[in-house]
Structure 1
């Protein structure tokens, strides 16, 4: 897959630590999706967490829509099990394996809008894309790369962070060296 960067600035550590930011439960549509979203945020690399919390809170404030993270950290094994029709990225080729990517979708009437069932759910998927197009610019303004801006294969729910411009190719040998399970200890010098 050919990526065209949507965010060329060098990402700095956030000035406000994630622990001091609070995720608004209403931004997730209430209790039903709040815990899953918090669990997904906690699975991320610490540098990514404040961006995600800001994305959800600002997304709710600016769009009036609720947001839920459906996928965050993904092990290389789990990445390898994803069907080729859903991704071109193999194990260690996705920012999900570094705790630096999320998939986030809107919640309408208590239900997530994106489904993998293209049949009856086509209208919901179209609604999800429409909603994601409202969230995309907010994520970009925070310093995240949005999959909806990719030129070849659009991935509307996907946001990723490239700290100090590091690509997964830069990060892979570092992660292998420190141990895949230690992805939260990656540094980006």
Structure 2
């Protein structure tokens, strides 16, 4: 079981070079997904123009599968506002791009949980693109185009401050990620205990009034103490029988 800090370190190198605010958003994504039992690994971050051109050549002038439509200078990776992710499985070593895998066993694909948290943070997901779906891709471009980025235009301080305020808001974020994970586990334990108690309570009920308690229940109903004697437990019938033996039900019936 990896700690959050160990998981962070696995993405540390690829987060380096991203715009500081976008880097914080990605770190927050790792934290939030960890709290949900999903381990996110950042696989790509900042790329130089040359690295982008090499990637663009793949599947065109070089062997391999086409993985990008962008030449150098035409990808948001080149400006530090995009990152790619994958899932890290529970062995702490295996990296997966399986969008249907549910490693935390909560009936929701882990990939979908990452995308859900990403969108809450204001990130754009490449899986929503129509022309070229890029399932591992996340970005935050503040409405800017790559042409504007190439021209040196960057998000305003007000835009950056808005993002920082959003990811650092208080409320349900007051607990640490570790505390939230522990709380989630506690909720699961409490639910299991509650289900167990209900099972025991059901098992404790008698399908019918025991023969040895029938007359006592009749006397209790006649005295107006009971409306029904059905579905009682052994202890319930024993208590009614003991009270009947004291004559309390006959006493009430004689009044």
TM-score, normalized by length of structure 1? 0.66
Q: 1:145 Cα shift?
A: 0.4
Name the structure 1 match of 2:146: 168
From 98, 109, 114, the equivalent of 2:79 is: 98
Is the aligned partner of 1:58 residue 2:32?
yes
Kept after mapping to 2: 8 A contact 1:41/1:49: yes
Q: Deviations over 1:153-179 (max 9, x none)?
A: 22121100113x1121211121xxxxx
Name the structure 1 match of 2:154: 187
TM-score, normalized by length of structure 2? 0.50
3-state SS of paired residue (1:106): strand
3-state SS of paired residue (1:127): coil
Aligned residues: 139
Q: Deviations over 1:2-36 (max 9, x none)?
A: xxxxxxxxxxxxxxxxxxxxxxx734xx74x6434
C-alpha root-mean-square deviation of aligned residues, in Å? 2.2
Where structure 1 has 5 or more consecutive residues not aligned to the other structure, the ranges are: 1-24, 115-123, 175-185
Structure of higher RCO (CA pairs closer than 8 Å, 6+ residues apart):
1
3-state SS of paired residue (1:102): strand
Where structure 2 has 5 or more consecutive residues not aligned to the other structure, the ranges are: 60-65, 103-108, 157-255
Name the structure 2 match of 1:89: 70
Larger radius of gyration: 2
Is the aligned partner of 1:113 residue 2:96?
yes
3-state SS of paired residue (1:73): coil
Distance in 1 of aligned mates of 2:21 and 2:118: 15
Distance in 1 of aligned mates of 2:54 and 2:99: 23
Kept after mapping to 2: 8 A contact 1:72/1:102: yes
Structure having the higher helix fraction is 2
From 5, 23, 33, the equivalent of 1:49 is: 23
